[in-house]
Each structure stands twice: as C-alpha cells, then as structure tokens.
Amino acid sequence: MPTKPFEVVTISETGVQIKTHSGIKVEPDFSIDDVPEMDILIIPGGPLRAVQSVAKNQKIIDWINKNKNIEYVCSVCTGAYILGATGLLDGKKATTHHLALKVLQEKYPSIRVVSDSKVVHDSNLITSGGVSSGINMALYLVEQIMGKTIAERTAKTIEFIQ
C-alpha cells in the first residue's frame, strides 16, 4: 500500500487566502483557474448564508460543472446546497445537514433529499450530512477506492466508530 495514497490540496476561487466565518485563515494551494487535474472534489459546507452566497457565484458553479465528470464529486454538510446550484443533483438522491434538509428540498425540488443516511452516493456524486458525517464520507471514499480492509483500518487508526 502506498504511504500517501491521496494528495490533498485546497482550492479557492482566486487562490488568495480566505477567512472562514469563525476567523480561521485558509491558504489555498490553487485557484479554480490553475488547479491540476483531480479525481475527487469535496465541496465544504458552512453557515447557510455563506453557502447561499457561494451558490450564487456563477464562476464557481460553472467551474464545478466543468469538473462534473471526475471520479467523485462530493459535498460535506450544507455544501450540498452549492452542489444543488450546479444542477448536478437534479433527479438524484442527496443529503445535507439535518437543519438544512428542508431548505435544500425547497430550493431544489428536483433533488430526492434523503434524511435518514449520513452518506448518499448517486452516480459519481456523494453527499454527506452534518460536519461529522464528512468523516463517514471520507471513510466511504477510502473503502470505494482502496477497499473495506483499508477503510476499517483507517477508522480504527483515527478511533472512529461508525
């Protein structure tokens, strides 16, 4: 097994440092204009107002759509709202944070919103519930890519009980 099977990078619209709603500064590795080819894209969530603002950013929505055919396009928590804005979830099953399920369904009625699963996989799209469900999704991805044994070992290593 490779010692580093995933290369993780951060991306922002411009590549310039961003500050989260809680004040944490994130120094992106790339902008959406210079990011290298990817196999997995994970769209984070956040406070609904911030997510709704990103969902209105046509440059970001177009960029996600441009990358819609990569192996996995994923969202954590309310990131599903951003993914909903792309139209990629139309007619598909998806989930999000339990407090945003109704908002997601009302805004994007063609999404088949699922409320009883932490992780939902439909075609190459994977959505997860609240923040901690992002760990479930990460382990699910490890299992899909590297197998059940590696996923179980990873869960045990990080002391995560599913």
- Binned at pLDDT 50, 70 and 90, residue 2 comes out as low
**Strand, coil or helix: 89:** coil
Residue 4: inside a domain = no
pLDDT over 90 at 126, yes or no: yes
Position 1 in a domain: no
Residues 75-104 as b or e (16 or more Cβ within 10 Å = b) = bbbbbbbbbbbbebbeebbbbbbeebbebb
pLDDT at position 22: 87
* Domain assignment present for 133: yes
What CATH number did the domain enclosing 108 receive?
A: 3.40.50.880
Q: Report yes or no: 41 and 70 within 8 Å, Cβ to Cβ.
A: yes
Say which residues have a Cβ less than 8 Å from residue 92's Cβ, sequence separation at least 6: 111, 112, 122, 123, 125
Give the residue-averaged pLDDT of 81-86: 97
Q: At what angle do helices 79-86 and 58-66 cross, to 10 degrees?
A: 80
Q: How many CB atoms lie within 10 A of CB 43?
A: 22
C-beta of residue 139 within 8 angstroms of C-beta of residue 160: yes
pLDDT value at 84 more than 70: yes
Give the count of domains, the chain: 1
Q: How many CA atoms lie within 13 A of 62 on its CB side?
A: 6
Residue 129's domain spans which residues?
A: 11-157
Nearest to 54 by CA among 43, 39, 65: 43
